[in-house]
Amino acid sequence: MLSALIFAASVVNYMDRAVLGVLMQQVRRELSMSNTDYGIAVNMFLCAYAVFYILGGRLADRFGYRRTIALSLAFWSLTGMAHAFVRGLGSLCLVRGLLGVGEGSFYPAAIRGITEWFPTEQRAKAIGLLLAGLSVGSLLTPPLAAWISIQYGWRVAFFVIGAAGLLLLPAWSALHRSMDRAHSVGERSLQPCAAATAELAVPLRFVLVNRKYWSAVFARALSDSAWYFYLFWMPGYFQAVRGFDAAMVGKYLWLPYLAACGGALGGAWAASALMSHGVSMDKARKAVLLASAAGSAVGALAFLPGAAAAVMLVCLGLFAHTSYATNIHTVITDISPPAHTAVLYGISGATGTVMGALSQPVIGWIVDSRGYTPAFLAAGSCYILAAVLLLAGVGRIERITAPGVAVAAPRS
C-alpha cells in the first residue's frame, strides 16, 4: 500500500509539472508571452526543483519522510491550482518556482521512505514503481489537459489537475495511522527494515568527499541529461525531420513513454530476480545497469533508419533508460548511510537537473548548426560514459562506512 500511494503521488507530481507544456500555446497567447518568456518560466521551475531536491532531502532526513511527503504534496497541489490565476510572466514565474519547491522535495523523501520499509533485494521494485509514475503521468497529461481546456478553458485544467494531489492526503494519513497501530503491536510485515533502524554513524561530510558516491552521482546525472534531451526535443525531431504532423505525434509518440514505464518495472524486476537466485547485489545491479546502458546507446541511433524504425529505436532507448534509472537510483540508496539517504539522493537529483538544464542551450545550438544527429550521438555517449564511471569509479556496490557507533535512525 505504501508503494502504491508513492506511485500515485509520482503520477500526480509529473502531471502537475507537465500541464504547462501541453497548454503552452494557449497560455502564451492569452498572457502575450514570447518563447523567451516561456523559457524563463521553465527555468524558474528547474532552478527551484534542483535546490529543493537537496533541501527536501535534508528535511526528510531530519523530520522523516511521512511529514515531508505530506507537506510537499499539499504545497505543490495548491501551487498547481494557483496557475489558474496567473496574469502575466511575473506571476507565472512565481508559481512555477513554488511548484519546483514542492515537487523537488517529494522524490528524496519518497526514496527515504522506500529505504526504510523495503529490504535491499526488494528496493529496486519500489523505486521502479516510483519512476514508472513519471511515464504514466506523461501519458495521462496530454489527453486530460487538452480535453479539459477545450471544454472549460486552460485555467480550469490547471485547477482540476492541481487539485488531484489533495485527494491523496487522506489516504496517506490513514495508511500511516494503520502502520503505527501495527507497529505498536509488533507486526513484522509493517516494521522498518533493520538497515533503516540501526547503522554506523557516518558523518555526511565523509560521504561528500568519497569517490564512490560522486561517481554514482555523475553516473546518474549523465543519464538524466539524456532523458531531458528525449523529453524536450524528441517531439520536435519527429516533426522537423521525420515529417510528423500533430495527428501523427498524438498517434505514435505515446509509445516511447509506454516503453519507459515498462523499462522502470522491468529493470527493477530483473535486478531483484537475480538477487533472489543468489547473485550478489553488486553483480545483479551492474548486470542490469550495463545491459541497460548498452540498450540506451543503441536506441540513440534513431536518426539512422526510416521513421517507423526510428520510433521503435526511441522506444528501446527509453525502455533501457528507465531500466538503468531504476537501478542507478537504487545504487544511490545502496551506498548511502541510512541517516543521510534522502539528502544524498537529493544531491544526485539536483546534479542531474542542473546538468540537464545546462545542456539545453547547447543542444539548441547543436540542432541549429549541425542538426539532430550529433545530439542523438551525444545522448548515446552519456550512457557509455556512465558505464565507465560505474565500473571505474563506483567499484563494488556496497554501503559507504566509517568508524562509528550504532545509532537509531530518526523516526518518520
The CATH number linked to 100 is: 1.20.1250.20
Residue 215 has pLDDT above 70, yes or no: yes
Least confident range from 91-100, 174-183, 402-411: namely 402-411
pLDDT interval class at 240 (50, 70, 90): confident
Average pLDDT over residues 126-141: 84
Residue 56 has pLDDT above 60, yes or no: yes
34: buried, middle or exposed (CB in 10 Å: 19+, 13-18, 0-12)? exposed
> What is the reported pLDDT for 177?
77
CB 86 within 8 A of CB 123: no
Average pLDDT over residues 49-64: 88
> What is the reported pLDDT for 184?
56
Q: CA-CA distance, 336 to 116, in Å (whole number)?
A: 12
Least confident range from 151-155, 272-276, 367-371, 374-378: namely 367-371
Q: Is residue 399 part of a domain?
A: no
Provide the whole-model pTM.
0.80
Average pLDDT over residues 68-84: 94
Amino acid at 274: L
Q: Is residue 179 part of a domain?
A: yes
Q: Is residue 409 part of a domain?
A: no
The residue segments making up the domain with residue 294 are 2-394
Average pLDDT over residues 326-333: 92
Q: Is residue 403 part of a domain?
A: no
Quote the number of domains for the chain: 1
% of the chain residues with pLDDT over 70:
92
pLDDT interval class at 185 (50, 70, 90): low
pLDDT digits (tens, 9 = 90+) for 22-34: 787 788 889 988 8
For residue 91, give the 3-state DSSP assignment: helix
**Residue 76 dihedral angles phi and psi, to the nearest 5°:** -70, -30
Q: Is residue 177 part of a domain?
A: yes
> What is the reported pLDDT for 183?
56
Neighbour tally for 147: CB within 10 Å: 11
All three cell numbers of 207? 560521504
Residue 408 has pLDDT above 70, yes or no: no
Q: Is residue 254 part of a domain?
A: yes
Average pLDDT over residues 389-397: 92
Helix (H) or strand (E) holding 373: helix 373-389
Least confident range from 156-160, 193-197, 202-206: namely 193-197
Average pLDDT over residues 169-195: 65
pLDDT interval class at 136 (50, 70, 90): confident
Q: Is residue 406 part of a domain?
A: no
At what angle are helices 120-152 and 89-117 packed, to 10 degrees?
150
Residue 306 has pLDDT above 80, yes or no: yes
